[in-house]
Amino acid sequence: MSHPGNDPEGPDVPSKAFAAVTAAAEEVEAPARRQAGTVFLVQLDGREPFEVRVDNRDRIRWEKTRGPRGWPAATEAQSFAMTFLTWSAAKRAGHPAAGKFEEWEADLIDWDQVREAPADPTRATPSPAATSN
């Protein structure tokens, strides 16, 4: 005797219901889409070069920090802004060299843009049914 959901000749109602629940669970549990960013190779005094990925979170942190501290705009002080952005990216990533910004500023010898990092494509675009009210 076969179960109706497993019968290739009969209605597949239980399997369709399971598939719908599974698809909904996968949509809820999908990882957050990562925004595009830029990867920089940084060289700190006394350390091996390493890469950091600057993205929108770091640019927002710059914008929120520079005004209250009276720092110039990035267009007026590109090297200073990039020093902050690379520090912010390293700090966010938990890199052990990313202590206080003032230390990073004193130790950063050079930074070089290595490549653009595309957005993380692992999360599918939500279906129209999932986004409608």
Q: What does the pLDDT look like over 7-33, one tens digit per residue?
A: 434 444 444 544 444 444 444 444 454
- In a domain, residue 126? The reply is no
| Band (122; pLDDT cuts 50, 70, 90) | low
Identify the pLDDT of residue 121: 58
Identify the pLDDT of residue 77: 95
- In a domain, residue 105? The reply is yes
**What is the rounded distance in angstroms from the CA atom of residue 38 to the CA atom of residue 114?**
8
52 burial via Cβ count (<10 Å: 0-12, 13-18, 19+): buried
- In a domain, residue 77? The reply is yes
> Range of 59's domain?
37-117
Helical ranges in the chain per DSSP H: 13-29, 56-69, 78-92, 101-107, 128-131
- In a domain, residue 130? The reply is no
In this structure, the number of other CB atoms found within 10 A of the CB of residue 123 comes to: 13
Residue 49 reports pLDDT greater than 90:
yes
pLDDT tens for 69-82 read 999 999 999 999 99
What strand order describes the sheet that includes 108-117?
Answer: 50-54, 37-44, 108-117
Q: Ranked by mean pLDDT, which of 7-16, 95-104, 113-122 comes out on top?
A: 95-104
pTM of the model: 0.63
Identify the pLDDT of residue 116: 78
- In a domain, residue 109? The reply is yes
For the chain, what is the mean pLDDT? 76
- In a domain, residue 1? The reply is no
Of 75, 72, 99, nearest in space to 88 by CA: 99
Of 96, 133, 93, nearest in space to 117 by CA: 93
- In a domain, residue 133? The reply is no
Q: In the structure encoding, which two tokens stand for residue 103, read together? A: 């230390």
Of 41, 67, 69, 68, nearest in space to 54 by CA: 41
How many structural domains are present in the chain? 1
- In a domain, residue 122? The reply is no
